[in-house]
Amino acid sequence: MNERIYRTEAIVLRRRDFGEADRLITLYTPGRGKQRVVAKGARKTTSRMGGHLELFTRSQLLLATGRNLDIITQAQTIMPYRALREDLSRISYAYYVSDLLDKVTGDEEENRPLYNLLVQTLAGLDTAASPSLVVRFYELRLLGLVGYQPAFFHCTRCQNELTEQAEQWLPPAGVLCPECALQSPGALPISLAAFKALRFLQRQPFADMTTLRLSEALQGEIEDILRRMIRPILERDLKSITFLQAVRR
């Protein structure tokens, strides 16, 4: 046998049954991005791996290069994110976060900052007071990390620096200066509060989010803007958004 063994940490994005007792697992890893692998025998009650390969778990893995798919041979949990699993609202956010990542990334494209963002987001969903704000931060930073950085500091049409007088934005790219807003059919209004909050989320570190206090109406406006920014890069609306909305009702 000349199989190659390698070690990586990973987050479990998706999993499904495969064959008699195996699982097909979609991982997100720091060094290889999204990766589809097999966990042999993971569904057997005697399996030592099963519990370390739960959805959203951050684990240290040992893998063997396979002919088609690589095979997980050992798994050890780094972070189980237990609180996240005990709250339906938080877990529905986690489904959305992993679904979005799965949809906007191709297989085996290294993106270490995106891995770090995912880890930060799951940790935030596990502990933060406002999981919805954690997800808004995630959406905004993810757009930048996959090449669709929205414009909140410079006009998306003429690139001039924006002042706080900006009142319109152009989906999906970003905010317009007052002059360009007059010449942009399809521009939509944005409130000063939403504009300021989005600038804050785009520039400030994750930890600063705990200082943000946003009304429900403002959170709704920001959510809507981000959704319109994300929608064009997805082929279809995510199933997990429907699930998230059903949980809210």
Closest CB to Zn ion among 86 and 179?
179
Residue 177 contacts Zn ion per CB under 5 A: yes
Q: Give, as ranges, the residues between 54 and 73 that touch Zn ion (CB under 5 A).
A: none
181 binds Zn ion (CB under 5 A): no
Please give, one letter per residue, the 3-state secondary structure of the chain.
Answer: CCCCEEEEEEEEEEEEEECCCEEEEEEEECCCEEEEEEECCCCCCCCCCHHHHCCCCEEEEEEECCCCCEEEEEEEEEECCHHHHCCHHHHHHHHHHHHHHHHHCCECCCCHHHHHHHHHHHHHHHHCCCHHHHHHHHHHHHHHHCCCCCECCECCCCCCECCCCCCEEECCCEEECHHHHHCCCCCEECCHHHHHHHHHHHHCCHHHHHHCCCCHHHHHHHHHHHHHHHHHHCCCCCHHHHHHHHHHC
Among 72, 84, 94, 180, binds Zn ion (CB under 5 A): 180
Per-residue mark of binding to Zn ion, 130-169 (x: CB under 5 A): -------------------------x-xx-----------
Looking at beta carbons only, is 47 or 184 nearer to Zn ion? Answer: 184
Contact call for residue 175 and Zn ion (CB under 5 A): no
We find the least distance from the C-beta atom of residue 230 to Zn ion, in angstroms, to be 23
Question: Shortest Cβ distance from residue 216 to Zn ion (Å)?
Answer: 31
- Chain positions contacting Zn ion, by CB under 5 A: 155, 157-158, 177, 180
